[in-house]
Amino acid sequence: MSLKTESKPSFTPIAQETFLDKKVVYDTKDLNLWYGDTHALKDINLSIYEKEVTAIIGPSGCGKSTYIKTLNRMVELVPTVRTTGTITYNGMSILDKKFRVEDLRTRVGMVFQKPNPFPKSIYDNVAYGPKIHGIRNKKILDEIVEKSLRGASIWDEVKDRLKENAYGLSGGQQQRLCIARCLAIEPDVILMDEPTSALDPKSTLRIEELVQELKKDYSIIIVTHNMQQAARISDRTAFFLNGEVIEFDQTDNIFTKPADSRTEDYISGRFG
């Protein structure tokens, strides 16, 4: 018997994983966030693990978007925002005013609720990220574009129309293009804020499959209103309510034996 298996019983399942296998990418400690006087996030403590899918669920207005936008500091685009507490990303304290958001955002990609391609060609959409980070070589750009489009499993659909405007694509294709655009900056983490809420069931399924594929290489944090989706694709789930994390556990546990009655109420559709 190895030391690892021997020590198993003394750990709770979560702790065992934390200490022995998984690396923490994002560690949130006592995070509070205000929009002006609105206290949107309250004492958030949350760890995001590497190469997992972490789902964030909760009723409308509970702070899900606010939280994931804090992870790449996009939330600061709202001028009234104020935060306390710390978030470390791979050990770096990212809420520090001295920490450069541009650095953070080149390693943490984001996919938005509504597909938001640029009014440019499919190629230029994907090449945008590499270009702004200084890659000019056409060959390399071609390679990144193809790799990213393949990664977002949309290559076959668009490979003959790379020069066409991205607005000619369907909503589902546009969203996968946005995922490709995000992969092109070669991030470690992908933040997704309800990426399928504007899509039909078939496109939704494709994105879900894609997420499963992507988690081999990326850590993914996904906000969703769709409980089945969270159950299907995530490894861990955080339940938010009124700006607080009510429960954070492995997805199986959240959906089969939630520790908090409010979680149970929510996942069984009793409110929200």
Ligand X SMILES: Nc1ncnc2c1ncn2[C@@H]1O[C@H](COP(=O)(O)OP(=O)(O)OP(=O)(O)O)[C@@H](O)[C@H]1O
User: How many Cβ atoms sit within 10 Å of the Cβ of residue 257?
Assistant: 10
Q: Which of 16, 35, 90, 188 binds ligand X (CB under 6 A)?
A: 35
**Minimum CB distance to Mg ion, residue 64 (Å):** 5
**Minimum CB distance to Mg ion, residue 98 (Å):** 29
When the beta carbons of 55 and 184 are compared against another protein, the nearer one is 184
Strand order in the sheet with 108-111: 108-111, 189-193, 219-223, 53-57, 236-241, 244-250
Note whether 47 binds Mg ion by CB under 5 A. Answer: no
Q: Which of 4, 11, 23, 38 binds ligand X (CB under 6 A)?
A: 38
- Residues in the interface with ligand X (CB under 6 A) total 12
Among 35-43, 129-137, 146-154, 179-187, which window interacts with ligand X (CB under 6 A)?
35-43
What are the tokens at 228?
A: 């089945």
Window 43-72: contact mask with another protein (x via CB under 8 A): -----------------------------x
When the beta carbons of 74 and 223 are compared against another protein, the nearer one is 74
User: According to CB under 6 A, which residues from 46 to 105 bind ligand X?
Assistant: 58, 60-66, 78
Q: Alpha-carbon distance 53 to 86, whole Å?
A: 22
Q: Alpha-carbon distance 158 to 191, whole Å?
A: 24
Note whether 65 binds Mg ion by CB under 5 A. Answer: yes
Q: Alpha-carbon distance 178 to 173, whole Å?
A: 9
- Residues in the interface with another protein (CB under 8 A) total 27
Beta-bridge mates of residue 111: 192
When the beta carbons of 34 and 118 are compared against another protein, the nearer one is 118
Beta-bridge mates of residue 85: none
Q: Which of 104, 169, 177, 254 binds another protein (CB under 8 A)?
A: 104
When the beta carbons of 65 and 203 are compared against Mg ion, the nearer one is 65
**Residue 139 region by backbone torsions, left for phi larger than 0, else alpha for psi between -120 and 50, else beta:** alpha
What does the angle CA 105 – CA 69 – CA 197 come to, to the nearest 5 degrees?
110
Q: Which of 21, 96, 103, 142 binds another protein (CB under 8 A)?
A: 103
When the beta carbons of 61 and 85 are compared against ligand X, the nearer one is 61
Q: Alpha-carbon distance 105 to 63, whole Å?
A: 21
**Minimum CB distance to ligand X, residue 55 (Å):** 13
When the beta carbons of 15 and 132 are compared against another protein, the nearer one is 132
H helices within the chain, ranges in order? 3-7, 13-20, 64-71, 101-107, 122-132, 138-151, 155-158, 171-183, 201-214, 227-233, 251-256, 261-267
Which does residue 2 bind out of ligand X, another protein, Mg ion, none, counting CB within 5 to 8 angstroms by kind? none
Contacts with ligand X, residue ranges (CB under 6 A): 35, 38, 40, 58, 60-66, 78
